[in-house]
Amino acid sequence: MNSKKSTKVNLVSSLVIWFIVVNVNLSSAEQFAVYSSSSSMTVDIGEGAFINCYLKPEVSAVDMEIQWIRVNDGSVIYKYRKGMEENHQAYNGRIKLVKTGIEKGNVTLEMHNIQPSDKGLYTCYFQNNFMFDEARIEILPRAIGTSPVLLMETDALNLKVSCSSSGWYPKPDGQWLSEDEKKVTELSKSIQKTEDGLYNINISIMFTEESKRTCVIQNSYPEHPINVSLYLSDSVFPKSNTGHIVAHALLTLIIIGMVSCIAVHKNKEKKRKAIKKEFKQAMKHSVDVCLDPETAHPDLRISDDLKCLSRTLERQKVPDNEKRFDTRLYVLGKEPLSNDQKY
């Protein structure tokens, strides 16, 4: 019995000693917690993300193991261990650790040329001989698409207008609105994902009478919508007894908020003035858009100032190029030339 009691006493003593030693070691190792500068960051595609993580209290991480782990698939995209560094092959040339504050437990992972595929949660993980901790941060890639392009196509009595924009992320949506901001039923809407993970969108409607319509495109970032407004007078529409368009268009581009395109018949001076008055405030912030002669169908004549469009009775002799529409009555708009450039 004495021998058994002695064994139990020795075992308890050993456990107490082990507990004391472990606590002393943990205390001497200075316990820490890991924090990130933010829980998420929105990064424009093609730009860089800077993921900062740090320890509290300030403890040197020079001899620690530091990892950045992509939570989506569990892959270690970057690893630092006692001065040795390695990164995932998929991030070669795009990833770098900034260690200027590592002696105080502060490091930053630089990720360059952010792509849609980089979207997701990332863990920064710190470990020494006695403990570990981690923090998470979410990267949200973003791309705001190009200014909308309007494409007009006419048949015998109607005018089809398509509104398109490219280079969006995340996936965008769009619609046409009436002058009183009610949704207009579209003829078609297509949203396509490209090989680089970005999205293109095209929405078309039919104009059948004098009216104003606004195409609105945006994604999950509502503070960055793109709008394009189009006003067409009744003189734009083909007449069944003539079979051709007689129109003069004044195109106005508003970069932030709205793009206005006004088509006015030159013989309706009173209506033209009324339209100009309606858009006077908007035009204070506008930039002219010119028609592009290199894209015009041979049956479409463009004025010297690139503002007016009419249909010819006979096909014109125009230079043949890859940009020119030759099967449909199309013409594209383009940014105006500067004052020191010639048309």
Strand partners, 222: none
- Whether residues 247 and 222 share a domain: the answer is yes
144: three-class secondary structure by DSSP? coil
Average confidence (pLDDT) over 191-209: 92
Rounded average pLDDT over 287-294: 71
Task: Give the per-residue pLDDT at 336.
Answer: 56
Six token digits for residue 337: 């030339």
* Mean pLDDT within 50-72: 94
Please compute the mean of the pLDDT values over residues 141-149 and round it to a whole number.
91
Do 192 and 69 have their domain in common? no
Are both 124 and 158 inside the same structural domain? no
Residue 73 lies in a domain: yes
Q: Which of 110, 142, 174 finishes a domain? A: 142
What pLDDT score does 290 carry? Answer: 75
pLDDT band per the 50, 70, 90 thresholds, residue 342: very low
Out of 78-82, 223-227, 274-278, give the one with best mean pLDDT.
78-82
In a domain, 14, yes or no: no
Phi/psi of residue 91, each to 5°?
Answer: -110, 15
Q: For the chain, give the mean pLDDT.
A: 76
Of 98, 116, 142, the last residue of a domain is 142
Total of domains in the chain:
2
Residues 272 and 246 in one domain: yes
Q: Assess whether 212 and 102 both reside in one domain.
A: no
Whether 342 maps to a domain, the answer reads no
- Characterize 178-214 residue by residue with b for buried, 16 or more Cβ atoms within 10 angstroms of its Cβ, and e for exposed: eeeeeebebeeeeeeeeeebbbbbbbbbebeeeebbb
Position 158 scores a pLDDT of 72
Confidence at residue 4, expressed as pLDDT on a 0 to 100 scale: 52
CA–CA gap between residue 235 and residue 247 (Å, rounded): 6
Do the bridges between strand 260-263 and strand 287-288 make them parallel or antiparallel, or are there none, so unpaired? unpaired
For 13, the token pair is 């003593």
Q: How many CB atoms lie within 10 A of CB 337?
A: 12
- 298 and 160 inside one domain: yes
Decide if pLDDT at 256 tops 80: no
Query: What is the residue whose two structure tokens read 């006077």?
Result: 280
Measured CA distances, 62 to 57, 58, 88, 99, 188 (Å): 15, 12, 21, 9, 59
Please report whether residue 210 resides in a domain.
yes
Same domain? 154 vs 261: yes
In this structure, the answer to whether residues 117 and 243 fall within a common structural domain is no
* CATH number of the domain encompassing residue 60: 2.60.40.10
Query: In the prediction, which pLDDT does 236 show?
Result: 61
pLDDT for 50 equals 93
Q: Rounded to an integer, what is the distance from CA 173 to the centroid of its chain?
A: 12
Assess whether 122 and 156 both reside in one domain.
Answer: no
Whether residue 164 is contained in a domain is answered as: yes
Between 309 and 138, residue with greater pLDDT: 138
Q: Is position 241 within any domain?
A: yes
Where helices occur in the chain by DSSP H, the ranges are 2-28, 269-278, 280-283
Write down which residue in 108, 142, 176 finishes a domain: 142
Same domain for 235 and 196, yes or no, is yes
Shared domain for 101 and 155, answered yes or no, is no
Provide the domain limits for residue 118. Answer: 33-142
On whether residue 91 sits in a domain, the answer given is: yes
Instruction: Give the whole-angstrom CA distance, residue 233 versus residue 274.
Output: 12
Return all residues near 77 (Cβ < 8 A) that are at least 6 apart.
68, 69, 70, 87, 88, 90, 91, 95, 122
> In this model, does residue 337 exceed pLDDT 70?
no
